[in-house]
Amino acid sequence: MSANKVAIGKDLLEWYDRHARKLPWRAGPGTSQAGERPDPYRVWLSEIMLQQTTVATVKDYFAKFTDRWPTVEDLAAATEDDILKAWAGLGYYSRARNLKKCADIIVTEFGGAFPADIDQLRGLPGIGDYTAAAIGSIAFDIPAPVVDGNVERVFTRLFAIETPLPKAKSEIKKLVHEVLSVSRPGDFAQACMDLGATICSPKKPACMHCPIRSHCAALEGHDPEHFPVKPPKKDKPARVGAVYVIENGSGEIILEKRQGSGLLANMAQAPTTDWNSRTNGETGVRGAPLTGLQWKACGEIEHIFTHFSLTLTVWKTSIGERKFQPGANQWWASVQKLDEEALPTVMKKAIARALPEAKLKGTQ
C-alpha cells in the first residue's frame, strides 16, 4: 500500500473521531477498541432500514422497532403482519418480510447470536454483499470493504475513476480494501459514510472542509461533481390504474390484503385494479368491486416505484348504514386508525385523496 493510501485512512479516522454523527444505532467512534461492542442486532436493523432510505426517515422507525422489539428474539416472536404494519410507509416491503425470516433463522439456527462471519451473514435473508460487510465490520471489526452510494462517491472522486457505475463497483471495492484501517474497520466504514453524507455530497460538495481533500484527484482537477460517472438514465414505464374507497356510516372503509408474492406482497390496500410494472389496470368505475352504487371521482395520485411510475384514479362511494359483508381477505377499518394498518405509501396517498380528514402520516 502506498503512503498516500495510508494517509487517507489516518486523516479520515482523525476527522471521524471529532465529527462522527450521533446516531441511535451507533456505539460511537473508538468504542470497539475500548471493549464496547456495537449491538449486531441494532447494526443489522439499521442497515436494512437504511437501504434506499435516508437517515432522517429511518430514525423514527428505528426507535419504534427497538422500543417494541428490543432484541432479535423479540422480533422473531412477532408476526409478519405486525412487522409490516410497523414498517408501513418505509417502502421496499420485501425488506420487512426478510427481517422476519432472518430473525427466525438467527434465533433457531444461531441461538440468537449473529454470526461473526461474512459468508454466513451473506447467506441470511435480505443480507447481500454490502449489508454483510457493514454488519461484519461495524459489529465485529472484520476488515471487509463496505461500499454504499456515499462510499462510491467519495472514492470515485478521490481517485478520479472515469469508469461508469455500476461497472466501476469492483474497482471501487478494491481501492476501499487497500485504504481501510485493519485496526478500526468499523469506524473506517462509518467515517466514509459520514464523509459522503455530510461533506462529499452529490451537488456542491464542501471540499474546503474535507479532511482528505489534499489526496483528492477530482478536486485537483477542479471538477468533483463529475464523479461518480453514471450511464444515462432509462425512462421508466408509466402505468395507470384505479383505487376504490368504500366507506360506511360508522367511519370505516374496506381494506383488503394483497397477495403473498410480488409487488407490495401481503400489504393492506383499498380495493384496486390489476396494475403492475408491465401492464395497466382499469381506471374507471367498470373496475369497481361493487356495482349499483354512485361513485365520485376524487382525482388522481402519482407514485414512483423503482421500475415504473404509477397514476391512480381515485373513486369514492358510501354505503351509509347499509349492511355489507366484506369478502375474503377484506375487513372494515376505522378511518381514525388507518396508520395502524400495513398500508404502503401509494395507498395512503389514494385514501387521503378520497378522505382528507383521515390525515394519514407520510402523505403531506
Residue type, 121: L
300 belongs to the catalytic site: no
| CA distance linking residue 318 with residue 252, whole number of Å | 10
Helix orientation angle between 129-140 and 185-198, rounded to the nearest 10 degrees? 120
Bridge pairing between strands 238-247 and 309-318? parallel
What is the C-alpha separation between 198 and 200, in angstroms, rounded? Answer: 6
Catalytic, out of 47, 152, 247, 341: 47
Query: In terms of Cα–Cα distance, which of 257, 312, 305, 334 is closest to 84?
Result: 257
Classify strands 330-334 and 309-318 as parallel, antiparallel or unpaired.
unpaired
Block residue for cell numbers 395507470: 240
Euclidean distance between CA atoms 5 and 145, whole angstroms = 14
Catalytic residue ranges: 47
